[in-house]
Amino acid sequence: MNRKWPAISAVCALFAVLTFAGCYRPVRYPELVDTHVPPAIVSAARYHIVGTSVHGRPIMCLGLGQGPDVALIMATIHGNEPAGTPLVRRLAMHLRQHPEMLSGRKVVLLRVANPDGLAHNSRYNIHGVDLNRNFEAANRLNSRQSGLTALSEPESRAIRQVILQYKPDRIVSIHQPLACIDYDGPAQGLAERMGQYCALPVKKLGARPGSLGSYAGVTLGIPIITFEMLGSDSQLDSEALWQKYGKALVAAVVYPNPAQ
């Protein structure tokens, strides 16, 4: 017989006696509880695909915040107006750095609405259709450049799906090169507020047939801004664009509160 067994048995018996007598208590290690609750969940947010272009390029959307007040900021529905894309990317960075701005809000970012047009430096999509004339507004005109039917293009259908899914309280669509703040629907107050934070004048250009402004602003009654930057802004990097226009976009996000 192994001589170690009697010793082991004795130790086990002693342990049982001590436990029964109350001399031993199991050690209860403290639980680690994360009590930090961020004001808005932004770190885990990622761009997700809401549609694809004619050539299969993804149309990406990012939602930041979880509040009931929703702002949709989008860019580059015309592929030869690219400056809005780095500006929207810079806005996303700013919102991640300042999550308190998202308290009670959700900001939906669509940084490239026409990826094929952007890849080919073209106003139109690959089918030669102006996506900003392809919506189901009452004033639309069927044509080759506007689409033979409303929403004939996958890109415009993706934009429409984003609007129907998120139900934005206001929309900003970034364009070039007309250097003004145009608006459709009940958006005059929003346009004037954004104009306080940049050098662009507020100018009512009128609803174009089948445009996003006509669809969202007139048909759906959503305040929508067509934020027309300068053509030369395409030469600026994201930081320079942010210095020129960042506070105007922040004003749109926090409206009707003033931008900080």
Q: Which residues are catalytic?
A: 228
| Alpha carbon distance 186, 225 (integer Å) | 10
**What are the residue ranges of helices labelled H in 79-217?**
84-97, 115-119, 154-166, 188-195, 212
Report how far residue 134's alpha carbon sits from residue 38's, in angstroms, rounded to the nearest whole number. 40
Burial code (b: 16+ CB inside 10 Å, e: under 16) for 134-151 equals: bbebeebeeeeebbeebb
CA atoms within 13 A on the CB side of 228: 13
Contact 147, 129 (CB under 8 A): yes
Work out the burial of residue 119: count CB atoms within 10 Å of its CB; fewer than 13 is exposed, 13-18 middle, 19 or more buried.
Answer: middle
- d(CA 179, CA 203) in angstroms, rounded, equals 9
Helix then strand count (H, E) for the chain reads 7, 7
Torsion of CA 172, 43, 103, 99, to 10 degrees: -80
